[in-house]
Chain A
Amino acid sequence: MAKKELEILLKATKISKSFGDFVANQNIDISIAKGQIHALLGENGAGKSTLVKIFYGVLQPDSGLIEINNQKVSITSPNVARKNGIGMVFQHFSLFPALTVAENILIALDNKIKFNEVVNEITKLSKEWELFVDPLKLVSELSVGEKQRVEIIRCLMQNPSLLIMDEPTSVLTPQEIKNLFKILRRLASSGCSILYISHKLEEIIELADEVTILKSGKSIASINARKTTTNFLAETMVGKKITELQKTIKSKSKKIAFEVKNLDKLKDHEFGISLANINLQVNYGEILGVAGIAGNGQVELMEVLSGEITCEDNDQILLDKTSIGKTNINERRKLGIETIPEERTFHATVPNLTLSENTFLTYFFKYSNTKSWITNLLNNPQNSLEESTKIIKNNDVRCPEINPLASQLSGGNLQKFILGRSLANNPKVAIFSQPTWGVDIGAATSIRQKLLDLSQSGKAVILISQDLEEIFELSDKICVINEGVLSEIFDVRDIKATDVGLLMGGNNKKIQKMEPIK
């Protein structure tokens, strides 16, 4: 229900879109007023991305009507969208790391302009909107926040009347988020409408004028964002009461489970991150949260902690005071260290293999039998069927068929399976990277509860996450990774979110007064 007194910029009626049997959008209505910040809220898989891709011409609707300024339009491609004044900043940036900012913007422009004019235009826009970037810098040298600014400038060059932003804050520090909101508000007050996609409730309440909630492909409500609460939004979005995490007070153990000492690792490709002097330790019964913006060395750290890449020195990693730096990933699995990398498909699982085959992937050694060479020779994924059935059942993994391909599961269900597969090995130490990234609220809550349960049953957990709320909600101790360097470890009660934010941005001078735990 758009406000009648406002002029409507974009109005969509009864938009539907299916992929095969799957209905992504079903009769969605939405209208965006001029100069309005309109939020699109919904769980993962609710159809937000499909809808905005239709607005930006990446996808074509099966049926439905789109009007811009009361004129019926058919947006057949992003080109047409841009001509109609629609710009979009994608969640995953589409920039070439080896080109400069200006070159990146130049190749994306529809009309041909000279290089110098582009540079001038970028400088002008970045001053005007406080989107500071150096047009001649290589994109690979930019921080994530700067890259996002480049994307925004790229849209602004086209003088858009509607700017679509897909989950723009998922990669930013709290400080950068504040800055972004300031810019978005200024843009809106200058008359540019903004369609803001998010599943973070606080942000929407802080920023948006109006919010449309999607659930299972349908638009279920359009409400005034200024007159609502996070609780109301959450319940409308999920359609049921959110269960709170069960946190019991635990008896702290002083026994060190897992320790990393003076670990260095040079980057192995141009756009990688070198790890420098990493030191960390985690006790049994404790969750250590490693905060940090994605792309600051988490992937590289994970490779070394998991044993995918072994250390140069055996003493660089210790389990129960025993050096294990040179052991490989399977030897560490046998020792009780379970890891989950952040990439769910193609890394933690193989998408075109079934779940039982994916169980076999990490546990094949369990099924070999040294006594019988023929069983050993014919050790194949058939052997893991029973175990994977158990994992599916115990972890409430919802499958479309008995033993589906990994690619048939939604992100949340696949992650539940991956976590369940690790827990089935009864680990002493669990190291999980971004376990709830891109997962719907229901699955995220269940995954977080599992992590808490794990630590409460006396296991050591390292949680690498870019979701600060999650870090604070679960962790007993916190450290921050920035450009491959790990900060000191702080007790969760001694550090504020804003300070962690400063550390995430690489600024550690202002918080020296705090005492790290030793």
Chain B
Amino acid sequence: MITFIPRDKVSKNWIILAPILSIVFTIIFGLLIFTFLGYNPLETLYQIFVSPFSRIDRISDILVKACPLIIIGTGLMLCFKSNVWNIGAEGQFIMGALLAGFIALSFPNIETKFFLLITILAGFVGGALWAFIPAILKTKLNVNEILVSLMLVYVAMLFIDFIVRGPLRDPMSFGFPLSKPYPEGALINKIPFPGIGFLGQLHYGILFVFLLVPISWIFVNKTLGGFKIHVLGYAPQAAKFAGFKQNTITITVLLLSGGLAGVAGVIEVSANIGQLQPEVSFGYGFTAIIVAFLGRLSPVGILFAGIIIATVKLGADNAQMTMGIPKVVTGLFEGILLFFLLTGETLQKYKIKWSEGK
């Protein structure tokens, strides 16, 4: 039998050493797998880890890819810290994008960028409403929020599919399931850098991340609300003793995380797509769960975790494009990386004891 015994003290060296060792092990395993499958192992690793940093526009693409992950991950952090398991950020992302898209398409001639405030707000409301369903079911009827939030992802996927094929389909789209393009006022522009021009796809939406990370840090560490979330998640009995209302907190964190996922949806669509289509997310809502945990449920950690995951995702895309490596293989590699990162983190906190017996 294997038992995990908490370490009395986590040594400073290990905090630095563990992630490095995790990467080393990932590289060793990656080399073995790629060699075994007949791909040039060094070339593959170069594509995954180095090529995303090889040009400045590629670095900016990392930020673009990390942007929705960090926004959603921050919202999920609030849920997970208070022991509320929102697995449905993907659905909330879609519903946020959809409600914002509906508003945007209702004003086809609007040009002022202030309109973005309205669409972003609409995205927040859309995502929050979608998260309100599991919230109300959990607090009123004690229905498990994991199941409800997850199932609603598929409802949301089918719903947006129906909308862009039906009510919001652009008559000029030659039968493609696409909405009309957004008006100018609902688009998030790329950032022009003087003398350089645009850096890849880097857009103004990234500013939201730079706003969100410090605000969420202050909320978690310096406000009563953040304190309540910590106490409720770690010691629910103590939360009762302090008179914190469990249901209110549960509903609040679900609304906030749903809302943030919705905002991520608006930014993604307004900056990178410019119209509604059946697929707007590409799994951001699910990947953000990993980002939240990899970032150890802390705002700054999530910022870095989002960047790491985005790098590997982009690197995997590069490897697919330049070397023809199938998606399943790069997916396997991503899995190995996560496995070792989480193992490293666990072994920092616990030591393993093997004991005989049952």
Q: Determine if chain A interacts with chain B.
A: yes
A350 engages B224 (CB within 8 Å): no
Do A351 and B355 touch (CB < 8 A)? no
Query: Which residues of A pack against B, CB within 8 Å?
Result: 19-20, 76-77, 79, 306-308, 328-330, 333, 341, 343, 346-353, 357, 360-362, 364, 368, 377-382
Nearest 7 CB-CB pairings of A with B = A330-B243, A20-B8, A347-B237, A329-B243, A346-B235, A350-B235, A380-B222
Q: Point out the residues of chain A lying under 8 angstroms from B224, CB to CB.
A: 364, 368, 379-380
- B223 A20 Cβ-Cβ under 8 A: no
Q: Please pick, from B9, B238, B355, the residue contacting A361 in the complex, using a CB distance under 8 A.
A: B238
> Once the chains bind, are A346 and B238 in contact (CB under 8 Å)?
yes
Chain B residues lying within 8 Å of A381, measured Cβ to Cβ, are 227
* Complexed CA–CA distance, A432 and B223 (Å): 30
Contacts of A329 in B (CB 8 A): 240-243
Q: What DSSP secondary structure best describes chain B's contact surface?
A: helix
What separation, in Å, do the CA atoms of A158 and B238 have in the docked complex? 42
Interface flags, B201-244, vs A, CB<8A=1, else 0? 00000000000000000100111101100110011011011110
**A-contacting residues of B (Cβ < 8 Å)?**
8-9, 218, 221-224, 226-227, 230-231, 234-235, 237-238, 240-243, 355-357
Report the bound CA distance from A330 to B245 in whole Å. 11
Complexed CA–CA distance, A314 and B8 (Å): 48
Q: Please, could you name 15 A-B residue pairs with CB atoms under 8 Å apart, sorted by A?
A: A79-B356, A307-B243, A308-B240, A341-B237, A346-B235, A347-B237, A347-B241, A350-B238, A352-B234, A378-B218, A378-B222, A378-B223, A380-B221, A380-B227, A381-B227
Task: Output the nearest chain B residue to A351 by Cβ-Cβ distance.
Answer: B235
CB distance from B83 to the nearest CB of A (A): 13
Q: Is the CB of A306 within 8 A of B241?
A: yes
Asked if B241 and A360 sit within 8 Å, CB to CB, the answer is no
B218 neighbours in A (Cβ, 8 Å):
378
Separation in Å of the B351 CB from the closest CB of chain A?
Answer: 12
Q: Are A346 and B223 in contact (CB-based, < 8 A)?
A: no
Given contacts A79-B357, A347-B238, A361-B231, 14 further A-B pairs with CB under 8 A are A77-B355, A77-B357, A328-B243, A329-B242, A329-B243, A330-B242, A330-B243, A346-B237, A347-B237, A351-B235, A364-B224, A380-B221, A380-B223, A381-B227
- Tell me the smallest distance from the CB of B287 to a CB of chain A, in Å: 29
A306 vs B357: C-alpha distance when bound (angstroms) = 45
Q: In the bound complex, what is the Cα–Cα distance between A79 and B357 (angstroms)?
A: 8
A20 touches B356 (CB 8 A): no
Cβ contact within 8 Å between A343 and B237? yes
In the complex, what's the smallest C-beta–C-beta distance from B196 to chain A, in angstroms?
40
Closest B residue to A333 using CB positions: B243
Determine the chain B residues whose CB is within 8 A of the CB of A353 once the complex forms. 230-231
Closest chain B residue to A362, Cβ basis: B242
- CB contacts (< 8 Å) of A343 on chain B: these are 237
Question: With A19-B8, A380-B222, A380-B223 as given contacts, are A350 and B231 in contact (CB-CB < 8 Å)?
Answer: yes
A308 near B241 with CB under 8 A, answer yes
Q: Decide if A360 touches B237 in the complex (CB within 8 Å).
A: no
Bound CA span A19–B9, Å = 11
Tell me whether A360 and B238 are in contact (CB under 8 A): no
Q: A20-B9, A380-B224 are in contact. Are A350 and B243 (CB under 8 A)?
A: no
A382: B residues at CB distance < 8 A: 222
A348's contact among B227, B241, B355, by CB below 8 Å, is which? B241
| CA–CA, A60 and B135, complex, Å | 48
Whole-angstrom CA separation of A377 from B226 in the bound complex: 11
A306 to B243, CA, bound (A): 10
| Residues of chain B lying within 8 A (CB to CB) of residue A360 | 227
Q: A347-B238, A350-B235, A361-B231 are in contact. Are A377 and B223 (CB under 8 A)?
A: yes
Q: Which residues of A contact B357 (CB under 8 A)?
A: 77, 79
- Assembly CA distance A423 to B242 (angstroms): 16
- How far is B207's CA from A479's CA once the two chains are assembled, in angstroms? 65
Distance in angstroms from A29 CB to nearest chain B CB is 27
Q: What are the residues of chain B within 8 A of A76 when measuring CB–CB?
A: 356
Are the CB atoms of B238 and A348 closer together than 8 Å? yes
Q: How far is the CA of A353 from the CA of B242 in the complex (A)?
A: 14
| Residues of chain A within 8 A of B227, CB atoms compared | 357, 360, 364, 380-381
- Distance in Å: Cβ of B104 to nearest Cβ of chain A: 33
The answer for the CA separation of A362 and B231 in the assembled complex, in Å, is 12
Alpha-carbon distance between A361 and B238 when the two chains are bound, in angstroms? 8
Q: Which residues of B contact A341 (CB under 8 A)?
A: 237, 241
Output the nearest chain B residue to A328 by Cβ-Cβ distance.
Answer: B243
Between B221, B242, B355, the greatest number of chain A beta carbons within 10 A of the residue's beta carbon is seen for: B242
> What residue of chain B has the Cβ atom nearest to residue A381's Cβ?
B227
**For the complex, what is the distance from the CA of A16 to the CA of B288, rounded to whole Å?**
48
A421 to B237, CA, bound (A): 18
- Between B8, B235, B241, the greatest number of chain A beta carbons within 10 A of the residue's beta carbon is seen for B241
Q: List chain B residues, Cβ under 8 A from A20.
A: 8-9
Chain A residues with CB below 8 A from B8, complex form: 19-20
CB–CB B223/A361 < 8 A: no
Expressed in whole angstroms, the Cα–Cα distance for A20 and B7 within the complex equals 9
Is B242 in contact with A347, judged by CB distance below 8 angstroms? no
- Among A20, A79, A307, A380, which residue has the most Cβ atoms of chain B within 10 A? A380
Q: How far is the CA of A364 from the CA of B242 in the complex (A)?
A: 9
**Candidate in B231, B235, B240, B356 with the most chain A CB atoms within 10 angstroms:** B235
A360 to B234, CA, bound (A): 16
A306 neighbours in B (Cβ, 8 Å): 241
The distance in angstroms between the C-alpha atoms of A106 and B248, with both chains bound, is: 45
Interface centre among B234, B237, B356 (most CB of A within 10 A): B237
Q: Which of chain A's residues have a CB closer than 8 A to the CB of B356? A: 76-77, 79
CB distance from A299 to the nearest CB of B (A): 10
